[in-house]
Amino acid sequence: MSLYVIGDLHLSLSGDKPMDIFGPAWMNHAERIRESFSALGPDDVIVLAGDSSWGISLEESLADFAFIDALPGKKLLLKGNHDYWWTTASKMKKFFSEHGLTSLDILHNNCFFYKDYAICGTRGWFYEEGAEGTHTGKMIAREALRLETSIKAAGDKPILCFLHYPPIYQGYQCPELLEVIDRWHAERCYYGHLHGVTHKRAFEGKRAFTEYFLVSADYLGFAPKKILD
């Protein structure tokens, strides 16, 4: 039994979003994901750090969910900026149940426990989103509140923080999210979203009390990163 993380699967098994248009690194990426997961066991837990499916609705994402569900282990899904299928937790859980997707659960305004650790997280946000007219002060405040709600549910357990957007990278910080991470002394923070040439802008290492890690699928070679045994 082990805990893993990977972000940005970007599956589109019933859609028209072939990822190989983004270069050789994405060739046959679904099969590479399937092969890498074959080394995992049924009792392993995997956090999927956002952008799991390109579908714009739960129904359109069903083939992607079925693919993920068929992989070994229990999966905890976090919202990413391209998860347009995302709706309320109750609707998502009902949809999973109705379609026999038994290994999927939602990390959103809650936390899960793995041995002595708390699994906490939210999507996060980029200030740059405001350039497209989608960012508001309310949105970043909401994401900080969601992260704090998740962390508060951890009690006195050591905190593993999972985000989709990086809270810090070269030339950028999200102070509101970093303040929550710092104040609660999160032990580690894992994030995705960065691809290709932007990998080099990732911040990995220690900041304040927290170790930071990039876990985008193409950065990890489409193999989940083991966090804990």
Q: What CATH number should be reported for the domain holding residue 224?
A: 3.60.21.10
Q: Kindly give the confidence (pLDDT) of every residue in the chain, 229 residues in length, as a single tens digit, with 9 standing for 90 and above.
A: 999 999 999 999 987 776 765 678 888 999 999 999 999 999 999 999 999 999 999 999 999 999 999 999 999 999 999 999 999 999 999 999 999 999 999 999 999 999 999 999 999 987 665 544 455 678 889 999 999 999 999 999 999 999 999 999 998 899 999 999 999 999 999 999 999 999 999 999 999 999 999 999 999 999 999 999 9
Question: What gap in Å lies between CA 65 and CA 101, rounded to an integer?
Answer: 7
Closest CA to 175 of 131, 140, 151, 146: 140
Question: What gap in Å lies between CA 10 and CA 182, rounded to an integer?
Answer: 30
Question: What gap in Å lies between CA 36 and CA 31, rounded to an integer?
Answer: 9
Element (H, E) at 76: strand 74-77
Closest CA to 41 of 218, 226, 221: 226
Element (H, E) at 226: strand 225-228
pLDDT value at position 139? 85
Can you tell me whether residue 199 is helix, strand or coil? helix
Quick one: tokens of 175? 């102070």
pLDDT value at position 132? 47
What residues contact 39, with CB distance under 8 A and at least 6 apart?
none
Question: What gap in Å lies between CA 39 and CA 33, rounded to an integer?
Answer: 11
Count of the separate structural domains present in the chain: 1
pLDDT value at position 110? 97
Task: Give me the domain span that covers residue 217.
Answer: 3-228
Q: Are strands 117-122 and 111-114 parallel, antiparallel or unpaired?
A: antiparallel
- Give the DSSP letter string of 149-184: HHHHTTTTSPEEEEESS-SEETTEE-HHHHHHHHHT
CA 12 from chain center: how many Å? 17
pLDDT value at position 217? 97
